[in-house]
Amino acid sequence: MSARSYDKESATALELAEWASQRIVRGRPTAVTTKAHDADLVTETDREIERHVRAVIEARFPDHAVVGEEYGGEPADGGGPTWYVDPVDGTTNYASGLPWCSFSLALADGAGPVVGVVADPFRNEVFSATRGGPATCNGVPLRCRDVSSLAGEVVVTEWASYRPWPGMDVMLERLSAQHCTTRIMGSSALSLVSVAAGRAAAGVIGEFHPIDVLAAVFIAARAGAVVRAEDGGATLFPATGGIAVAAPGVATAMWNAWVPATAARSC
């Protein structure tokens, strides 16, 4: 996609986020099944939302690819436009009646993310960003926290499905030694946009998957967060490993706490 405005794509993403939010808050799902293992839950809501997203994108952008949590897919060849959708990020929370889950949708091309939206249905918030534009929540510009120390701050992270990721315990210990509090809330996308909104100083996800967190990482970056992959590179779309987003004033301290996690993975 050449340099241009992305008004149509952004409007579509926001429209889909509003629709998904309304569907999610309609009520706790009654049909819950599993996929890869007993802790990998899926509901009829997950599937219904993804089908709707795919139908709308196919109708409006027939040359775009879609990769989704429930129905898979492959990125477009040659860096062509590809949408990544997680209809309910935090399905376990949703299925259990815990009001902390999200809808995540990102569009990327060969140059990286183009559009990102993350909707928090139970707080009626929609976080969004476009290439070259600001990060916003319900249209209000966002900026990550202006802090210079992790002491007294919150860092968000998430399990690898239902288990700690390799090195997670080391990172938590290093953060606690700095009097930094960590939170594991159950939705990777919502956790990372919390950094964009200034509600957390930093966030680390042990393994990057664009379906789950590309939109949130993009929004955090547009809100001023420093983004790093496991190898220390500044990228919004790492090929392997995890990803961290942090307010600029604590980016180095966060990296130093996270480095043992990458070492532990290779042991």
What DSSP letter does each residue of 34-51 carry, written as one string?
ESSSTT-EEEHHHHHHHH
Q: Which one of 141, 168, 195 terminates a domain?
A: 141
Residue 78 lies in a domain: yes
Of 53, 9, 46, 5, the C-alpha closest to 29 is 46
The average confidence (pLDDT) of the chain is: 94
Q: Is residue 158 included in any domain, yes or no?
A: yes
**AA letter at 187:** S
Q: Which residue has the tokens 């629709």?
A: 19
Residue 70 has pLDDT above 80, yes or no: yes
What mean pLDDT comes out for the span 98-127? 97
Structure tokens at 32: 């819950």
CA distances from 44 to 23, 150, 267 (A): 11, 40, 40
For residues 11 and 133, membership in a common domain is answered with yes
Residue 232: DSSP 8-state: S
Has residue 262 got a pLDDT over 80?
no
Indicate if the pLDDT at residue 1 is higher than 80: no
**Closest by CA position to 259, among listed 224, 217, 228:** 228
Looking at residue 2, its pLDDT comes to 46
Q: With a cut of 70, say whether residue 266 has pLDDT above it.
A: no
- The SS3 assignment for 21 reads helix
Residue 232's pLDDT is: 87
Output the domain CATH number for residue 170: 3.40.190.80
Question: pTM for the full model?
Answer: 0.95
Strand ranges in 5-161 using DSSP code E only, listed in sequence order: 32-34, 41-43, 65-68, 82-89, 102-109, 112-120, 125-130, 136-137, 140-141, 154-157
Among 111, 141, 171, give the residue marking a domain's end.
141
Asked if residue 211 is part of any domain, the answer here is: yes
pLDDT at residue 31, as a whole number: 86
Q: Is residue 147 part of a domain?
A: no
Q: Which residue is associated with the tokens 């860092």?
A: 155
- Answer with the one of 141, 176, 194 that is the final residue of a domain: 141
- Could you identify the residue written with the tokens 């939302």? 49
34, 126: one domain:
yes
What percent of the chain shows pLDDT beyond 70? 96
Which has more confidence, 5 or 148? 148
Q: How confident is the model at residue 3 (pLDDT cuts 50, 70, 90)?
A: low
Is residue 222 helix, strand or coil?
helix
pLDDT band at 5 (very low <50, low <70, confident <90, very high): confident
> What is the predicted pLDDT for the residue at 261?
55
Domain that holds residue 117: 7-141
Burial group, residue 209, by CB count within 10 angstroms (0-12, 13-18, 19+): middle
**Residues 157-202: pLDDT tens digits?**
999 989 999 999 999 999 999 999 999 999 999 999 999 999 999 9
pLDDT level of residue 99 (50, 70, 90 thresholds): very high
Together in a domain, 100 and 180: no
For residue 263, pLDDT beyond 90: no
pLDDT exceeds cutoff 80 at 248: yes
Q: At what angle do helices 188-196 and 210-222 cross, to 10 degrees?
A: 10
Residues 117 and 171 in one domain: no
Whether 180 and 261 share a structural domain? yes
Asked if pLDDT for residue 129 goes beyond 70, the answer is yes
Q: Provide the domain count of the chain.
A: 2
One-letter identity of residue 38? D
Task: Examine the domain organization and report whether 82 and 19 are in the same domain.
Answer: yes
Domain shared by 85 and 208, yes or no: no
Q: What is the mean pLDDT of residues 217-245?
A: 94
Terminal CA-CA length for the chain: 41
Are 65 and 161 found together in one domain? no
Read off the pLDDT of each residue in 78-98 and give the average, rounded to a whole number: 96
Instruction: Evaluate if residue 84 carries a pLDDT over 70.
Output: yes
Percent with pLDDT over 90 in the chain: 89
Residue 102 belongs to domain with CATH number: 3.30.540.10
186 located within any domain: yes
Identify whether 64 is part of a domain: yes
218 and 261 in a single domain? The answer is yes
Half-sphere exposure of 52 (CA within 13 A, CB side): 22
Residues 191, 185 contacting (CB under 8 angstroms): yes
Residue 246 in any domain: the answer is: yes
At residue 179, the pLDDT reads 98
Q: Grade residue 124 by pLDDT with cuts at 50, 70 and 90.
A: very high
Residue 149, in any domain of the structure: no
